[in-house]
Amino acid sequence: MNSHATPSLPIDFQRIASSQLLEVVHKAPKAELHIHIEGSLEPELIFEMAARNGVALSYPSVQALRAAYAFTDLQSFLDVYYAGASVLQTEQDFHDMAWAYLSRAAAEGVVCAELFFDPQTHTERGIPMAVVIQGLKSACDRAQREWGLRAELILCFLRHLSEEAALQTLQDALPFREHFVGVGLDSSEKGHPPEKFARVFARAGDLGLHRVAHAGEEGPAAYIRTALDLLKVERIDHGVRCTEDPELVRRLARDGTPLTVCPLSNIKLCVFPDMGSHNLPQLLDAGLMVTVNSDDPAYFGGYLNENYSALLQAHPGLGARHAWQLLHNSLVSSFAPSDLKHAWLQRLDEHFARAALA
Ligand code: ADE
Ligand code: ZN
């Protein structure tokens, strides 16, 4: 597989002016494949839920909480993110959080969202698995009904916890097996290599679940290799550090392995000093199946379209052809059935063809 696709219609990309491009991208059909639903919890909703659930927060106001969103690395973010998630208690809370995100996503042209959730963040606080999954799932079903937005769940294991805990989590989720399409691996990367989770990923594979993992965000390129070889993942979340291993880059390009890159996240967590230094253009040039995603939009200063905007504005060398490629990659890399993907890809091409004629 190669990621340099050709549109199904003739599209004269040169005719799409750079002044028009952001609007074209914002209105285009697209998929979001790397969004932690707990990372979409806005401070206003955190305060509302804290009040209704009687949870004490260590910040006096929404403004004070938002002011604390100055991160130096992944761990400094995770500490705040787990504290924020502690307000989630009831099925209604999980529903409301996911519904807020999905409503926004629908307005941004998202036709397919594959949502990560971290059950251990909640079950460790005594929240039943049923509350978490049923609350999220009811919002996903509602998004399909009300917006025609396909929303699926991916259950993530926290890599700072043990593999035994991950195995137990998977077991506890089995009564809800039909409510999630895959498993992922997130949280503190350094010091927690993929191989720590080989058995639980093998078990997930036996259950017919899709497999993805965060690798090469802060951790080394070697973690991308072990995620592929030992966890048998189909996509790599982040993966930006693959460029430290040219042979790995060739392998990812040859296999068409999707990388779910999150530009604003990478700047907020100091993976790159600024957007102009982000290596996404280099990844695209290497023929990788790169996609753009928001990661934790409530914490990183932007939802999906803001990620596209920030990236395209900081890299004027990325034009309409590249933007189309990123959108195309997002749809191709989803876990949706191929007939749906083809219909979305056709809509994407028609959208760009129309823009080129305008
Ligand atoms: N959990 C939420 N966001 C994450 C990220 N960017 N990396 C690892 N774990 C996460
Ligand atoms: Zn992530």
Q: Which ligand 1 atom lies nearest to the CA of residue 217?
A: 7
Find out whether the beta carbon of 39 lies less than 6 Å from any atom of ligand 1: yes
Q: What's the CATH fold of domain 13-43+93-357?
A: TIM Barrel (3.20.20)
Predicted local confidence at residue 30, as pLDDT: 99
Find out whether the beta carbon of 265 lies less than 6 Å from any atom of ligand 1: yes
Ligand closest to Cα of 188 equals 1
Q: Write the CB contacts of 201 (distance below 8 Å, at least 6 apart in sequence).
A: 183, 185, 211, 213, 230, 231, 232, 233
Predicted local confidence at residue 2, as pLDDT: 46
Q: Which of 73, 121, 214 to mutate to test the pocket of ligand 1 (most atoms within 8 A of CB)?
A: 214
Ligand closest to Cα of 298 equals 1
Mean pLDDT taken over the chain: 97
Find out whether the beta carbon of 214 lies less than 6 Å from any atom of ligand 1: yes
| Structural domain boundaries in the chain | 13-43+93-357
Find out whether the beta carbon of 184 lies less than 6 Å from any atom of ligand 1: no
* Catalytic residue set: 217
36 CA distance to ligand 2 middle (Å): 6
Quote the CA–CA distance of 114 and 136 in Å, as a whole number: 12
Q: Which of 236, 296, 300 to mutate to test the pocket of ligand 1 (most atoms within 8 A of CB)?
A: 296
Quote the CA–CA distance of 355 and 13 in Å, as a whole number: 9
Q: Name the strands in the sheet holding 258-261, side by side, starting at the edge strand that comes first in the sequence.
A: 30-36, 110-117, 150-158, 182-186, 210-215, 235-238, 258-261, 289-292
Find out whether the beta carbon of 260 lies less than 6 Å from any atom of ligand 1: no
Predicted local confidence at residue 3, as pLDDT: 56
Predicted local confidence at residue 4, as pLDDT: 81
Predicted local confidence at residue 358, as pLDDT: 87
Q: Which of 33, 78, 160 to mutate to test the pocket of ligand 1 (most atoms within 8 A of CB)?
A: 78
The segments of the chain whose pLDDT lies below 50 read: 1-2
Q: What angle do CA 339, 6, 105 make, to 5 degrees?
A: 55
